[in-house]
Amino acid sequence: MSNNKKLKDIFDKYNKAIDQVSKEFIEELKCDSKTYGQVYIDLNLFEKEINYNSLKSLECKFITIGYFSYIKKLLEKEKNDLLLTNRSE
């Protein structure tokens, strides 16, 4: 049972690392974009490039599909949490 505690600690450490890298990734995506639409275009182009370059490795393909899906969910959450602005009264 103590092995489960160690495994959970390792898993939590992994999740924290993925969250940190994902935030950096998103900030870099947004750096040259003015809209979320442009961010998604850049993300999709980069995703296609990565998928094309990793065609030979199923293991890599599996990881990238999951990672890009996670990035898109984080972006959606960020967009959905934004306050509405410039609304006509």
Q: What is the pLDDT of residues 18-47, one digit of tens each?
A: 999 999 999 999 999 999 999 999 999 999
Helix (H, G, I), strand (E, B) or coil at 89: coil
For 63, the domain range is: 2-81
Whether 87 maps to a domain, the answer reads no
Residue type, 22: S
Whether 36 maps to a domain, the answer reads yes
Q: What is the pLDDT of residues 4-19, one digit of tens each?
A: 899 999 999 999 999 9
Whether 20 maps to a domain, the answer reads yes
Residue type, 66: G
Per the structure, the count of domains in the chain is: 1
pLDDT band with cut points at 50, 70 and 90 for residue 54: low
Whether 88 maps to a domain, the answer reads no
Q: What is the pLDDT of residues 70-88, one digit of tens each?
A: 999 999 999 999 887 766 6
Whether 86 maps to a domain, the answer reads no
Query: What single string gives the DSSP state of each residue in 15-61?
Result: HHHHHHHHHHHHHHHHHT-SSHHHHHHHHHHHHHHHHHHTTT-HHHH
